[in-house]
Amino acid sequence: MSWKDDVDELNRQVEMAGQMGGQDSVAFHHGRGKLTVRERIALLEDPGTFQEIGAIAGTATWDGQQVTGLKPSNTIIGTCLIDGRKIAFSGGDFTIRGGASDAAIGNKSQHAEQYALDTRVPYVRLLDATGGSVKTFEKIGRTYLPGNSGTNISAELLQHVPVVSAVLGSVAGLPAVQACLCHFNVMVKGTSQVFVAGPKVVEQATGQTISKEELGDERTQLKNGVIMNLAESEADAVSQIRRFLSYLPTSVWEIPPVIAPKDDADRREESLLSVVPKDRRKIYEPRDVIHAVVDTESFFEIAPFYGRARVTGLARVNGIACGVMANHPKFNGGSMDIAAGEKTLRILELCETFHLPLVYFADEPGFSVGPAQEKMGIVRAGARVVTTLARTQTPYICFIMRQLYGVAGGLHQRGGTGLYRRYAWPSTHGGSMHIEGGTAIAYKREIENADDPDAKREEIEARLQSISSPFRNAHAFGVEDIIDPRDTRPLLIDFLADAQRVIASQLGPVSGSSYRP
């Protein structure tokens, strides 16, 4: 006796589920320039590695003992390999009720998250869902009090495995929150929006008529930091997901992957000798420094449109993955405002959670000043960065490129314990505050009593500038080493080799700390 007939029936139902919302719904989806969830999975996986979980979960139509139709769940979950490493994922199927919760079967997304947590593998959300629907009330015959919808598991995941969210359509309600419950997220230009509630709900609540694009497309959600990166297409979004994960370990219990070096360990870029202008009032492009030091084409920038006074991302140096941050003098002089501070926290916590060394190319003029920043709470925001850096144990190295001033400038140096190293370029200068601004305060009476106050102020500033040489600091061992900027890459490689030994002793969840989205 054989079970072949039953296996054939299983395959038939799997094929029915594979039709998703039907040809018309799929065609409508394609007509809006979007891929279906199964097409997205095909981009995500190493070819042929997708294993679906709950493939025939759905609403079946029975005729006696025969299933004549099957409307599948609008969430697809499963596992696949990315660059040979296993991940778990969930994907919203917008072709079935727009991904609304009234077409859900069970809680497949929560099952997938639990799978990732138990198996210690990364988790990817392919979000394209509108969230809750009042049709659910009629479906279950009652209203209900909202619960946490599995967000306890979502929060726990962040402490143990890499989590990525891709916004691939209109995402509202719980899926919008899930877009941020991650270590990295991305949306697609022109076809993605994310918001707490859609235009109709906004109209009912506020009386304001607004389009979904005006409410939550990339023009809003990238600048405010809700979404980190922008993709030109869905294929680009998936490519960014794969690249982000390539720098991270499968879980916090593993060392970040090291690849065979593809770049010369002794490379010394001549451009580093002149990248920082002699004129302190002139700006430069910090990404030129990053690209000159890290492995060629290895820098993956995170959140380039938010907190633009700081550049952050991931890179490889001699094949070893690390976090990277640098001040950008083009934006607010590179000073730390609230957005740049939040961006700094994100990269610090990402590196701490997943045991990545962090390299900082420092040119910090201090915390951003002025009434606007004070009204937004720059002091409290700065205190958060101070405490986070003080508690982190991730190996940390700083190359001082130009200036360090005030408390924010002091953040180039980590307090507490842990592997830390720093080097200064000859262009370095710093102090508790800028000479140009501090002179008028410290020498106020002397300047006011002078026959020519402006000339006296300039005379004092010149005198102070004459003793601002970094060599004076080096003579007093106020800075350990002044280096030829061209030696930055070799010295960083040496540090990262030392860091690998330290990281091997730090594996597992970070004690007394937690990653915050």
262 with 295: CB under 8 angstroms? yes
What percent of the chain is predicted at pLDDT more than 90? 56
For the chain, how are helix, strand and coil distributed in percent, rounded to 5?
Answer: 40, 20, 40
Q: At a CB cut-off of 8 Å and minimum separation 6, what does 442 contact?
A: none
CATH 3.20.20.140 matches 270-428+479-503: no
Q: Which residues contact 169 (CB under 8 A, 6 or more apart)?
A: 34, 92, 94, 99, 127, 128, 129, 191, 192, 193
Q: Per-residue pLDDT for 191 more than 90?
A: yes
pLDDT band at 138 (very low <50, low <70, confident <90, very high): low
Residue 173: pLDDT band by 50, 70, 90 thresholds? confident
**Higher per-residue confidence, 33 vs 517:** 33
Residues 344-370: what's their mean pLDDT? 93
Mean per-residue pLDDT, 266-272: 95
CA-based R_g, the chain, Å: 27
pLDDT at 258 over 60: yes
Q: Which of 51-55, 214-218, 268-272 has the lowest mean pLDDT?
A: 214-218
Residue type present at position 267: R
Give mean pLDDT, residues 254-278.
94
400-403-404 Cα angle (round to 5)? 85
The neighbouring-strand residues paired with 51 are: 79
**pLDDT, mean of residues 165-190:** 94
| CATH superfamily of the 4-246 domain | 2-enoyl-CoA Hydratase; Chain A, domain 1 (3.90.226.10)
Convert the pLDDT of each residue in 432-489 to its tens digit: 555 565 555 566 777 667 777 777 776 666 666 666 677 777 777 777 889 999 999 9
Mean pLDDT of 314-341: 95
- What is the C-alpha to C-alpha distance for residues 495 and 489, in angstroms, rounded to an integer? 10
> What is the spatial distance between Cα 54 and Cα 13, in angstroms, rounded to a whole number?
12
**Mean pLDDT, to the nearest integer, of 229-249?**
98
| Both tokens assigned to 179 | 């877009």
239 Cβ partners below 8 Å, 6+ apart? 231
- Among 45, 52, 49, smallest CA distance to 20 is for 52
Q: Is pLDDT of 131 > 70? A: no
pLDDT at 353 (0 to 100): 96
Identify the band that residue 386 occupies on the pLDDT scale cut at 50, 70 and 90: confident
> Which region among 196-205, 286-295, 329-338, 420-429 has the lowest average model confidence (pLDDT)?
196-205
Give the C-alpha distances (Å, rounded to integers) separating 132 from 99, 162, 173, 514: 9, 26, 7, 29
Q: What is the pLDDT of residue 389?
A: 87
Look at residue 211 and tell me whether its pLDDT is greater than 90. no
pLDDT at 136 over 60: no
Burial 163-181 (b: 16+ CB within 10 A, else e): bbbbbbbbbbbbbbbbbbb
What secondary structure does DSSP assign to 457-502, as a single string?
HHHHHHHHHTT--HHHHHHTTSSS-B--GGGHHHHHHHHHHHHHHH
| Mean pLDDT, residues 51-68 | 90
* % of the chain with per-residue pLDDT over 70: 88
The token pair at 416 is: 């507490």
Residue 479 has what pLDDT? 79
Report yes or no: 76 and 103 within 8 Å, Cβ to Cβ: no
**pLDDT of res. 440:** 59
- Tell me what pLDDT residue 480 has: 85
Lowest mean pLDDT among 166-170, 449-453, 477-481, 504-508: 449-453
Task: Write down the pLDDT at residue 24.
Answer: 87
CA distance 268 to 398: 18
Chain centre to alpha carbon of residue 89: 18
pLDDT level of residue 431 (50, 70, 90 thresholds): low
More confident residue, 269 or 203: 269
- Tell me the DSSP string of 147-191: --TTHHHHHHHHTTS-EEEEE-SEEESHHHHHTTSSSEEEEETTT
- Ranges in the chain annotated CATH 3.90.226.10: 4-246, 270-428+479-503
Arithmetic mean of pLDDT over the chain: 88
Cα–Cα distance, 479 to 427 (Å, whole number): 13
DSSP strand pairing (58-63 vs 66-72): antiparallel
Confidence at residue 149, expressed as pLDDT on a 0 to 100 scale: 63
Average pLDDT over residues 267-296: 95
Is the pLDDT assigned to residue 414 strictly greater than 90?
no
The predicted pLDDT at position 25 comes to: 87
Position 44 scores a pLDDT of: 97
